[in-house]
Structure formats: C-alpha cells, structure tokens
C-alpha cells in the first residue's frame, strides 16, 4: 500500500487558532487525527469533521507516532509533556510553538535525553494560510525525521529544512518577522506619503509589490557581499543614497507625514559616511547592526 491508501496518524496537542488549523489540514488530507486541548470544547468542530478526541495528553501521545504540539509557549510545552516523556520515547515530536532559539535547543536536548525524535518548527503564515503550499513552515533539528515525514508535514505548508541545529527555525522566524515589520513600516510610510497627494493605497501597492522584486534582487547581491565582508559600491553608494533620502524626508515634511523611519535610515547612513564608508554599498550598514 502507498501513502495514497494509508495516511500517517497524527496527534495535535493544543487547539488555539493555529493548532486547530493544523489539525484541520491533517484531517483534510485524510490523516487519522487525534486532538487534545485543555478546554475540551475547542475540539468539538474537529471531532465533528472526523477527528478523535483524546481525554488526556497521554491518550493523545499514545494514539500516534507523530505528535504535533502548538501551545502558548515553551513552558506550556514542558508542563504538558514532562509527565508523558516515557510514552513519547521512540515517537517523533514536532514542536510548532513560538519561542527563542535557546528554548528550542533546550527542548531538543530534553527530547534527546528521553529518546524522543524532535523537530522544531517555525510557521511562516497565519492560520488561514495553513494547508497552502505557497507558505513555508521551517523545520530544524532532525533532517532525517523531516525526510521521513515530509509528505505528512507538507499538507500544512511547504516544509523547509534548516538542518540539524534545532534553534535555527526559531532564529529564522524571529529574523523574518523583523523583516516583515520593517517592510510593513516602509510600505505604510510610503502609502501615507503618496496618499497625501490622493493616490489610492491599492494603486501605489500594485507598483510597490513590483518594486519589491527588484529589491529582492539587490538583497541577493548584498548577501554575497556580507558573506565575503566586502562592500563594493558598484550599484549605488551610501553617500548617493544619503542625498536621495533627503528628498524623501522633504516630501514627507511637506505632507505632514511622520519621518521617524526614514530619519533612522539616514542616521545609519550618515554614520557609515562619517566612518569613511560613503563609497560602499548599502550592505555595509550591517556593521552598524552588528554593534
């Protein structure tokens, strides 16, 4: 029998918005799914769709070789799983709870000490995006475990293997969220700027998203410079960009738009120029963040 006929049983512990979405995706893909939540009523919609309700965490663990946990924090993970560590031995635990790299590494060590296979994950979407392969779910800590269960975990989103260091999924997650907020902030500032002259947000955003493809091209080149520790300004130097950002600030001041975000960029760029790096690329500013 192939996987079209036999689906891996999965247990999902924690049925908040994200946990419920994870369980629903497993059910939709035909996986026998056991669910548990501290508040039993949260399992009702999933049970109505065919999930099996576990009365206890121990019962949920016993039902499947693949156990997915998604709860408030790592402290809650440990509180729930410490009492059933013996039952988890030989099973695979996929922890999709948000936490720090240090917490993930500690949890991986706890799992190893108890003979538990462990994958730490970072879900790079919101609950409505679960089940769509356009969205990534980052995994770290056990490449061989991910390879074994890739087909099952792929029903949640595109599985991205970050390697054996269990802390990397949380580290990437934090960094990518920071990138998201920075992009959102820049987009909102620009939308306020253009909107002051009557440009609709949807019209500006259609151009902005196209521009982001070019920005990603810049980033790819700058990443090579960062890894090499050399920042040639062959495309655009920092001192030229200092002049350009002045136009952005002036346009914002004329339109009553808050200029704190571009002033931060200007401060970083001026610092690099004053340090003698005005002829370098924008990638040089990573040294300011490293301080």
What is the Cα 36 distance to its own chain's centre? 24
* Token pair of 267 as six digits: 């401060």
Alpha carbons 22 and 131: distance in angstroms, whole number: 8
182-204: pLDDT as tens digits? 999 999 999 999 999 999 999 99
**At CA 67, angle to CA 66 and CA 69, rounded to 5?**
150
Grade residue 6 by pLDDT with cuts at 50, 70 and 90. confident
Grade residue 251 by pLDDT with cuts at 50, 70 and 90. very high
What's the rounded mean pLDDT across residues 66-79?
A: 98
147-185: pLDDT as tens digits? 999 999 999 999 999 999 999 999 999 999 999 999 999
Residue 237 has pLDDT above 70, yes or no: yes
Residue 53 has pLDDT above 80, yes or no: yes
pTM of the model: 0.94
What's the rounded mean pLDDT across residues 260-281?
A: 97
Strand pairing of 33-36 and 117-123? unpaired
Residue 278 has pLDDT above 50, yes or no: yes
Residue 238 has pLDDT above 90, yes or no: yes
Residue found by looking up tokens 């914002």 in the block: 252
**136 within 8 A of 158, measured Cβ to Cβ:** yes
DSSP string, 75-125: HHHHHHHGGGHHHHTTSEEEE-----HHHHHHHHHHHHHTT-EEEEEEE-S
216-234: pLDDT as tens digits? 999 999 999 999 999 999 9
DSSP string, 250-268: HHHHHTT---HHHHHHHHH
Alpha carbons 204 and 23: distance in angstroms, whole number: 38
Residue 61 has pLDDT above 70, yes or no: yes
The per-residue pLDDT of the chain, averaged, comes to 97
Residue 3 has pLDDT above 60, yes or no: no
**56 within 8 A of 36, measured Cβ to Cβ:** yes
Residue 2 has pLDDT above 90, yes or no: no
Alpha carbons 260 and 253: distance in angstroms, whole number: 11
Residue 30 has pLDDT above 80, yes or no: yes
Residue 1 has pLDDT above 90, yes or no: no
CB-CB neighbours of 218 under 10 Å: 14
Give the residue, 106 or 5, on which the prediction is more confident: 106
Alpha-carbon separation of residue 160 from 166, 172, 174 (angstroms): 13, 11, 16
Sign of CA dihedral 274, 275, 281, 284: negative
pLDDT at 232: 97
Strand pairing of 136-140 and 117-123? antiparallel
Alpha carbons 91 and 38: distance in angstroms, whole number: 22
Residue 116 has pLDDT above 80, yes or no: yes
Q: Which of 248, 227, 228, 242 is nearest to 277 (CA)?
A: 242
Alpha-carbon separation of residue 170 from 107, 145, 175, 176 (angstroms): 12, 18, 9, 10
Counting Cα atoms < 13 Å in the Cβ hemisphere of 286 gives 14
pLDDT at 185: 98
Alpha carbons 291 and 287: distance in angstroms, whole number: 7
DSSP class of residue 52 equals E
């Amino acid at each position: 029998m192939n996987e079209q006929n036999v689906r891996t049983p999965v247990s999902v512990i924690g049925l908040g918005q994200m946990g419920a979405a994870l369980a629903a995706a497993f059910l939709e893909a035909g996986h026998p799914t056991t669910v548990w939540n501290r508040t039993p009523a949260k399992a009702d919609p999933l049970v109505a769709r065919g999930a099996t309700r576990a009365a206890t965490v121990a019962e949920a663990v016993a039902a499947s070789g693949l156990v997915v946990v998604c709860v408030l924090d790592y402290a809650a993970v440990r509180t729930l799983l410490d009492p059933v560590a013996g039952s988890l031995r030989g099973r695979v635990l996929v922890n999709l709870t948000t936490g720090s790299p240090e917490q993930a590494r500690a949890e991986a060590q706890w799992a190893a000490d108890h003979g538990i296979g462990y994958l730490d994950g970072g879900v790079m979407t919101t609950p409505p995006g679960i089940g769509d392969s356009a969205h990534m779910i980052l995994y770290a800590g056990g490449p061989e475990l991910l390879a074994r269960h890739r087909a099952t975990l792929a029903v949640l989103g595109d599985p991205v293997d970050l390697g054996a260091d269990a802390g990397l999924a949380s580290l990437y997650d934090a960094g990518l969220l920071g990138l998201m907020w920075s992009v959102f902030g820049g987009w909102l500032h620009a939308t306020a700027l253009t909107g002051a002259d009557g440009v609709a947000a949807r019209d500006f955003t259609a151009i902005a998203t196209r521009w982001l493809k070019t920005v990603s091209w810049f980033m790819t080149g700058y990443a090579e410079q960062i890894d090499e520790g050399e920042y040639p300004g062959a495309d655009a130097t920092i001192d030229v960009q200092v002049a350009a950002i002045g136009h952005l600030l002036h346009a914002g001041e004329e339109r009553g738009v808050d200029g704190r975000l571009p002033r931060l960029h200007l401060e970083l760029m001026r610092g690099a120029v004053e340090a003698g790096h005005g002829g370098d690329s924008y990638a040089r500013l990573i040294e300011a963040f490293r301080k």
